[in-house]
Every structure is written in structure tokens, then in C-alpha cells.
Amino acid sequence: MRIAVDAMGGDYAPGEVVRGVVELASQPEFNDDVILVGDQERLRTILCELGGAGNEHIVVQHASEVIAMDEHPAHAIRKKRDSSLVICGRMVKDGEVDGTISAGNTGAAMAMATLGIGRIPGIDRPAIATQLPTLKGDSLLLDAGANVECTPENLLQFALMGAVYAEKVMGIPEPTIGLLSVGSEESKGNDLTKATHALLKNSSLRFKGNVEGKDVFEHTTDVIICDGFVGNVLLKTGEGMAEMILGLLMTELDSMEGDLLIKMQPVLYSLLRKLDYAERGGAPLVGVNGVSIISHGRSKARAIANAVRTTISAAKSGYVTAIKKELPTITGERHAA
């Protein structure tokens, strides 16, 4: 695999981005290539400082421009054609790399993927697919923030893309689908969820009905579908709740005796890893005609390294091709036939 990394994107770029790539590429079992896209001089200087200058799996691709975190996404994409982010998208579209990652301006990264790489034919809107930790392993939530207003047809496509990604990348056989709503009954919800429920019920997908917010982290279904507004609120609320619980737990542990605290350390370490966004590295924008991973803006080295792993795994899975193959199965063509 060849993966392009927007080395200039993120709160801690380019230093932490390069560090993450060097740490991953230095592992003996690593056999893929990473192209660091950004200011050539700065990147090579950092590579020398970190001891990664001679690594055969790391390549530097020069970009003369950088899209800032606060720039207007669409304007920046059109204006800065030689930015690290735009070049990454161009490399995916031209087949020079198998996937790309950016921890930079999220809106610009989505614009780059949609306008630069392009949508899968037949997909109206790409969606952010985020893995959520649950009591029974990870589930997949989409849309997690790409589209704040959606149609029932959009959500039906999200369900198909989520099912394909869950199977091909996450290794879940025959994934089940749930529709996030205010009640488990078919009659509950707003106009969007009611209309979407009808479409999903009549589709070939393994739809299990509505899922309430309280059921999300119990893994009642493998894939959870909602519009981007609801999905992003759910995601951020979950992150905040997890941080609060961990904070309260750490405060209580301060009063524990030494031996008990030592015994608790492995459990706490395992819990922290499950809840830490850096463990997954980033979320794919599914529905674009290539692998595009969006990482958290505050990603540091470990998150970047895991984002590269996620991108490689997604590219090897062939989920983009699988979506193209499965898309006709939820269109009117099958039912009309």
C-alpha cells in the first residue's frame, strides 16, 4: 500500500504527524509506503531530527501551501491548489496512492474528498463513519457530522455503506442495522426517521428497527444510522461523558491504598485504550471514490500512526469497490424487476 499523509494538517503538525509516521515505519513488520505531503524543507529537517531520514518506506512530496484550521473549506480548496491537503486528494484520484489521511481542517478535508477525489457513482452524499466502543466491541455510527440535513434516501445509502464497511474493514459478518430514534416502536420519531424506517424495512439490508440513545453503547446493532447533526451530538456527548467518568474515577483512585491502586492499573489502562480516540486514529469519509480518513485535529503521534494503520486496512479491504457492487441492490431496479 501507498498512503498519502497531509503532514501540515492538525494542531500539532508537522512535528507530531512526522513523529507518528516515523514510529510506525520504523517497526520491523511495516512493509507499506507513506508519502508525507507538505513543506519539503521542514519535513526533511524533522525527519533528520527523529532519525527517519533514511527510512525507505517514507517519502516526502513537496507542497507549497497550507490550508489553515480556520479557513473556509470550499474557498481554501479552490484557491490553494498546491496545498498539502489538495495534493493528497489528487494523488488518490490519480491512483498514485491507495488512501489519504488528514488531521487538518475537517470541512476542507471533506470538501477535498468530495470535490477532489469525487463521489462513488450513485452516492448522493458521503458520510463520516465512526467506530464507537460498546459493551460488546465496536459498533459503527454514520453519519457522524458530514451532513446536518438528510433525506430518507441519504440514510438508506448510509446504511448500505455502513454495512459494507463493517463487514469488509471491521470483520463483522452479516452486520445488522439500527436507526437512531426516540423510541423503539416503528411509529416513533420525526418525519425523517419514519420515512427512513420504511425504506430500510423494505430493503435487502439486515434492518433490526429503531435504536434508542440508551441502547447505543450496548451494541444492540452493528451499525447505527442517523443524520449528521444527531450523530455528531451523540458522538461529542459520548466523548464528554467518557472523559467525565474517567476524571471522577481518577479522583477516587487518589484516595486508594498503594497495593490496591497497583492492582487496578492494568484495568484502567485497558479502559483508557478502549475509550481513547487515538486508538482508532481517524474515521473514513465513506461514499467517496477512494479511501479518505479524517483524523482529530488534536491528533498526536500515536493517533497518526493508528490512522495510517486504519487507512492501510481500509484500502486492503476493498470496501470502496464493494459499495459500488452492492449499491444497485438498494435501488428501485431490483424491486422493479
Residue 315: give its domain's CATH number.
Answer: 3.40.718.10
Would 326 be classed as within a structural domain?
no
HSE of 75, CA atoms in CB hemisphere, 13 A: 5
Tell whether 76 and 153 lie within a shared domain: no
Q: How do the pLDDT tens digits run along the chain, 337 residues long?
A: 999 999 999 999 999 999 999 999 999 999 999 999 999 999 999 999 999 999 999 999 999 999 999 999 989 999 999 999 999 999 999 999 999 999 999 999 999 999 999 999 999 999 999 998 888 888 999 999 999 999 999 999 999 999 999 999 999 999 999 999 999 888 889 999 999 999 999 999 999 999 999 899 899 999 999 999 999 999 888 888 877 887 787 777 777 666 666 666 676 666 666 666 667 788 999 999 999 999 988 899 999 999 999 999 999 999 999 999 999 987 544 333 2
Does residue 14 have a cis bond before it (omega within 30 degrees)?
A: yes
DSSP class of 27: S
Tell whether 271 and 252 lie within a shared domain: yes
Would 146 be classed as within a structural domain?
yes
Would 26 be classed as within a structural domain?
yes
Would 335 be classed as within a structural domain?
no
Would 332 be classed as within a structural domain?
no
Q: Which residues contact 211 (CB under 8 A, 6 or more apart)?
A: 178, 179, 180, 181, 184, 220, 221, 224
Tell whether 200 and 270 lie within a shared domain: yes
Tell whether 51 and 93 lie within a shared domain: yes
Question: 0.75 cut: is pTM over it?
Answer: yes
Would 334 be classed as within a structural domain?
no
Tell whether 47 and 68 lie within a shared domain: yes
Would 330 be classed as within a structural domain?
no
Would 331 be classed as within a structural domain?
no
Tell whether 114 and 162 lie within a shared domain: no
- For residue 213, give the nearest of 169, 250, 172, 183 by alpha carbon: 183
The number of folded domains in the chain is 2
Q: Among 258, 281, 304, identify where a domain stops.
A: 281
Tell whether 157 and 69 lie within a shared domain: no
Tell whether 89 and 113 lie within a shared domain: yes
Tell whether 138 and 116 lie within a shared domain: no
Tell whether 139 and 231 lie within a shared domain: yes
DSSP class of 112: I
Tell whether 19 and 165 lie within a shared domain: no
The domain containing residue 273 runs over which residues? Answer: 125-281
- Which ranges constitute the DSSP H helices of 169-300? 191-201, 228-253, 258-275
Tell whether 79 and 208 lie within a shared domain: no
